[in-house]
Amino acid sequence: MGKESKNKLKGSLSKYIKVPIYFNILWIIVAIIALSIDVKVGALIAAMEIIYIVASLIVYVKFKPNIMKTLVEFGAEYSQVQRQMLHEMEVPYGLLEESGKILWTNEKMDELFNGKSVRNKIVSAVFDDFKPEYLEFDDEGKKEFQIKTEDKVFRVILREFKMNKKNEDSSLAQLTENNVGLISMYMLDETTVQRLTKENKEEKLVIGHIYIDNYDEVLQSIEETRRTVLVALIDRKINKYFAQYDGIVKKLENDKYFVAFKTKYISKMQTNKFSVLDEVKTVNIGNGLPITISIGIGMSGSGLIDSYDLAGTAIDMALGRGGDQAVLKDGNKIYYYGGKTKSVVKNTKVKSRVKATAFRDLIETKETIYIMGHHIGDNDSFGASIGFYKVAKTIGKEAHIVIGEVSSSVVPLVEMFKQQDSYEEDMFVSGTEATFKIGKNDALIIVDCGRAAYTEHPELVRRAQCVMVFDHHRQSTDVIDNAQLSYIELSSSSTCEMVVEIIQYIPETVKLTKMEAEAIYGGIMIDTNNFTNRTGVRTFEAAAYLKKNGADITNVRRMFRDNLDDYKAKATAIQNTEIFKDEYAISVCSAKDVSSPTVVGAQAANELLNVKNVKASFVCTPYNDQIYISARSIDKVNVQLIMEEFGGGGHMNLAGAQVKDKSLGEVVQLIKNVISKKIEEGEM
């Protein structure tokens, strides 16, 4: 005969039921104590205690089955309510094994699959966006992420829990084997929230500026009677383009526009790469120059004022990069479009005069002037430094040129200045020395470079309280943005040309010595490749001014002659050139036994442009654990855009970059990949 199962009470409920028994023990002790004091009183208490014990036992035995039955029924009903609540919960809910196997789902989860059960399936196979790493938990035991079904977006919350011993006998514990952990999965529908968030973002206003790059030059190229018609056609092109995007265009000045439109249209403009840039160029009623515009767009600001400021920064960058392009500043992100034409050459020197006056007024208040160029200084960087040094000394300021490693053609110039008794011994200082000495009332002039990381000593840029930048390269994303004075003139052939113009507008008469004039002249000659590249009227005017100040052209040319090893290295680089896609020359220049490898590489890139059908040349030079890329082009190919892919920059037809942590073969292959990508995107 099997043993009859007994229901037992446990825990707090059991203790509560047994309280009378504990009191019986207490009263027995009281009765014993009373008997020892007074027999009659003790006997009375004992009799009452016996009656109480008998009554308690009768009640306990008689009502226990009913109590147990009620408790069992309550537990069953409570468990049923829990299961029903989970099953009918309005949030899709499920239980998973640690392996990702779905053990149980409620009705709402099944509704996602048209009522079909997905139990015993792997969750990553059910939801395409579900990644295996979502099942890996940290100490918190919780994961949140987003997944998408056909037309809905869910925020998924996973919680990890283990089945303990108290639940071993429950039906739920039977779902797993060997006490495997379970994962609860909640799916919160955020489709509406996502849609409203997207709509709210798309309805925000985007602020923009539009400038006509060559307004004065174009108007001067046609007769006066046609100018009104030309301006009207330009206005019509701009208004028509933004009208299709429900945009508002307001003309502020003859060559400046303000535009506003909704964020949802920006993706379409990006897709067509701001086609208005090319559409405006088609306006031609006899004007000798094609019309180009620059666009600066600001978005994702905290408010309209912030977006307006972003747009202002964007248009400055577009103009600083040569114009004929659109710059989109999306918060901290910057996107460039266009920029395929050459910078507009400005014949007027008004800007030079204004900058020269501002420069003169600024350094007048400073004690010591430090002048610094880019790393591995070339002739343009050195010549410009000499020019500004002379200006500072003429005004009566103490001045120093920060110099480090320089190209081979600059070394003899440095030695010539050091040997002259007319110059102070501390004319040239190291970057470390300048960083230690520079004070709050000193100024730092940066020449031929607009990026702190490319200067001779970047730490000096961070230490300087007053920074002035003079450069002729297109601006990049990491441009020095805290300069008190910034003069970026893309139409200048070189920084030396800019210095010559500034010298002529300084109130004090700056008298250049023969050696100083030759140093500055050499910078112009090198950057223009003997006056064959990027030269304009102002370039030859600057050269004429230097000639008047004693520059001996023959002597300058003698300084820049190559030694035999450099000439051989350049010839070898040209001989080993690979022609990629029939139009792009790619080569490698060896740094072995070469006095200035980067200069030789640049010279080889210049020479390769003389080869028929070559549109652009790229020469890679391994030097100082880096790969230096010299890029050159003719006319339509914008090598600056290619070099920006490597973190470099420059001009449309002359650019460069420095690549770290990559082999020579990898860099060459990357150049090919970038060229192919630009061709596919229609940018080359």
**Per-residue pLDDT for 83 more than 70?**
no
Q: Using an 8 Å Cβ cutoff, are 296 and 317 in contact?
A: yes
- pLDDT tier at 242 (50, 70, 90 boundaries)? very high
Decide: residue 629, CB within 10 A, 0-12 exposed, 13-18 middle, 19+ buried: buried
Q: How far is CA 483 from its chain centroid?
A: 21
Q: Using an 8 Å Cβ cutoff, are 682 and 663 in contact?
A: no
Q: Using an 8 Å Cβ cutoff, are 204 and 273 in contact?
A: no
Assigned token pair, 137: 């938990």
Identify the pLDDT of residue 442.
92
Of 545 and 353, which is predicted with more confidence?
Answer: 545
CA atoms within 13 A on the CB side of 385: 30
Assigned token pair, 404: 């480090």
Q: What is the CA radius of gyration of the chain?
A: 41
Q: Which of 439, 419, 451 is nearest to 370 (CA)?
A: 439
- pLDDT tier at 210 (50, 70, 90 boundaries)? very high
671 DSSP assignment: H
**Per-residue pLDDT for 9 more than 60?**
no
Architecture of domain 564-680: Roll (3.10)
The pTM (predicted TM-score) of the whole model is 0.59
Identify the pLDDT of residue 496.
93
Architecture of domain 93-197: 2-Layer Sandwich (3.30)
Pick from 60-64, 179-183, 315-319, 498-502 the range whose average pLDDT is largest. 498-502
- pLDDT tier at 353 (50, 70, 90 boundaries)? confident
Alpha helices in 138-190 (DSSP H): none
Q: Which of 425, 429, 427 is nearest to 437 (CA)?
A: 429
52-61, 219-228, 622-631: least confidently modelled range:
52-61
Percent of all residues in the chain with a pLDDT value above 90, rounded to a whole number: 22
- pLDDT tier at 484 (50, 70, 90 boundaries)? confident
Summary mean pLDDT of the chain? 82
Query: Given its phi and psi angles, is residue 62 left (phi above 0), alpha (psi -120 to 50 degrees) or beta?
Result: alpha
Residue type (1 letter), 153: V
**Per-residue pLDDT for 295 more than 90?**
yes
Q: Using an 8 Å Cβ cutoff, are 64 and 70 in contact?
A: no
What CATH number labels 350-559? 3.90.1640.10
Assigned token pair, 455: 């200067």
**Per-residue pLDDT for 77 more than 80?**
no
Identify the pLDDT of residue 97.
82
Q: Which of 477, 493, 472 is nearest to 373 (CA)?
A: 472
Pick from 161-165, 239-243, 675-679 the range whose average pLDDT is largest. 239-243
Domain boundaries, the chain: 11-87, 93-197, 205-338, 350-559, 564-680
Query: Model confidence over 488-528: pLDDT tens digits?
Result: 887 788 899 999 999 988 888 889 999 999 999 988 988 88
Mean predicted confidence (pLDDT) in 533-541: 84
- pLDDT tier at 454 (50, 70, 90 boundaries)? confident
What superfamily would CATH give domain 205-338? Reverse transcriptase/Diguanylate cyclase domain (3.30.70.270)
Beta strands in 382-534, from DSSP E residues, in sequence order:
398-402, 428-429, 443-447, 467-471, 485-488
Mean predicted confidence (pLDDT) in 199-213: 87
- pLDDT tier at 176 (50, 70, 90 boundaries)? very low
Identify the pLDDT of residue 390.
92
How far apart (Å, rounded) are the C-alpha atoms in residues 591 and 351?
Answer: 41
Identify the pLDDT of residue 178.
46
Q: Using an 8 Å Cβ cutoff, are 106 and 93 in contact?
A: yes
Decide: residue 339, CB within 10 A, 0-12 exposed, 13-18 middle, 19+ buried: buried
| Beta bridge mates, 578 | 586
The two domains 93-197 and 564-680 share their CATH topology (first three levels equal): no
